[in-house]
Amino acid sequence: MNSRETYLLLMSAILAALISINLDFTAYTSPNSILSMLTCRNPISRRHHRHHDFIPKVNICDDFPPDIPPPETNTTVTLCVDHNGCCNFTKVQSAVDAVTDFNQKRTVIWINKGIYYEKVMIPRTKTNITFQGQGLDSTAIVWNDTANSAHGTFFSASVTIYGPNFIAKNISFMNVAPMPKPGDVGAQAVAIRVGGDQAAFWGCGFFGAQDTLHDDRGRHYFKECFIQGSIDFIFGDGLSLYENCQLISIASPVAPGLKTINGAVTAHGRVTADENTGFAFVNCMIGGTGRIWLGRAWRPYSRVIYAYTTMTDIIAPEGWNDFNDPTRDQTIFYGEYKCSGSGANVTLRAPYVKKLNDTEAAPFLTTSFIEGLQWLQPFSS
């Protein structure tokens, strides 16, 4: 099976899973047909209504949680999105548009299970927004722009976050554009661009192929997230900590013995020595298919470390790549610390790779790396 097929299979499996848990998915194209389908299928509601009239009826919103949205409090406003129209909004973007500019209160946008097929933008004026989904396999925002269709990789994101203090919980961000074939130009397809400072993602999914997660700029935190891609699938100039995340490559399988490289987990974009940016991965897991690098030096001062991370043999023995520019060997910072698995054998690593000792690793291991004390709220807040 080639990589494109693998990818499409994966995507359709994910979509099928999402659809099966959410029968009403097609309602956004044809509300009436799904309604009649449900009416015929639902024996309970037929029984329920039999005594009242002969036309079977069902209220599509019967199962909708009665306490959503909760009333406004001193600190929080909740807006609700449901694609069946059971609450305030049917589109995520409409809810975002309704948020008061520069709000100091947190606006929780509660998003019901389902696939929201739309391109979403949170502008700089919309501060303190939370996207609360119902599980990374239940709620997804999906679009399919590519660098070609959007006139640039940076504009291809299904979801773009510029507003500061953004939080996402239990939701997936997907770009379902076709996986690039070897040699394709302009097929980069970003699932999310995180360009606002102080963003936190808890239990979120990021699905795409080339350039899935644009960790663009600002301080960001990712906890227990699932991140899927092929080439440079976490890229940008963010200052970010990833804890307990799964990083899954969908690059094409490479036959044993072949030295082909067909992907990279990261392409960090630190430009100068005085930037404090970098990606730190702690207690993560790297798996999937292909033969890939841990990172490549998209910009001269690219900075990435992996600690306590398990890696399968999809990681090539040299581990990293200087973007074929040896002048970058002096300025990039690529480190590994207490990793495990067959991909973590550092014997044949590129010479510039740092095998960090305790002292050198310490600054990257906790939320102080992203100055979390200044801004990162606990999950439950």
Q: Which is nearer to ligand NAG, 132 or 269 (CB)?
A: 132
Q: Which is nearer to ligand NAG, 38 or 98 (CB)?
A: 98
Whether the CA torsion 68, 72, 78, 81 is positive or negative: it is positive
Q: Which is nearer to ligand NAG, 47 or 124 (CB)?
A: 124
Q: Which is nearer to ligand NAG, 274 or 358 (CB)?
A: 358
Question: CB of 122: closest distance to ligand NAG in angstroms?
Answer: 12
Question: CB of 40: closest distance to ligand NAG in angstroms?
Answer: 28
Tokens 């639902």 -> residue: 42
3-class SS string, the chain: CCHHHHHHHHHHHHHHHHHHCCHHHHHHCCHHHHHHHHHHHCHHHHHHHHCCCCCCCCCCCCCCCCCCCCCCCCCEEEEEECCCCCCCECCHHHHHHCCCCCCCCEEEEEECCEEEECCEEECCCCCCEEEECCCCCCEEEEECCCHHHHCCHHHCCCEEECCCCCEEECCEEEECCCCCCCCCCCCCCCCEEECCCCEEEECCEEECCCCCEECCCCEEEEECCEEEECCCCEEECCEEEEECCEEEEECCCCCCCCCCCCEEEEEECCCCCCCCCEEEEECCEEEEECCEEEEECCCCCCEEEEECCEECCCECCCCEECCCCHHHHHCCEEEEECCECHHHCCCCCCCCCEECCHHHHHHHCCHHHHCHHHHCCCCCC
Q: Which is nearer to ligand NAG, 46 or 105 (CB)?
A: 105
Annotation marks residue 232 as catalytic: yes
Question: CB of 180: closest distance to ligand NAG in angstroms?
Answer: 12
Q: How many degrees, rounded to 5, is the angle at CA 115 between CA 212 and CA 32?
A: 155
Q: Which is nearer to ligand NAG, 135 or 253 (CB)?
A: 135
Question: CB of 170: closest distance to ligand NAG in angstroms?
Answer: 4
Question: CB of 205: closest distance to ligand NAG in angstroms?
Answer: 11
- From the list 232, 274, 313, 329, the catalytic residue is 232
Question: CB of 380: closest distance to ligand NAG in angstroms?
Answer: 8
Instruction: List residues near ligand NAG by CB under 6 A.
Output: 69, 74, 79, 88, 98, 104, 106, 127-128, 135, 144-146, 149, 164-165, 169-170, 177, 203, 345, 347-348, 357-360
Active site residues per annotation: 232
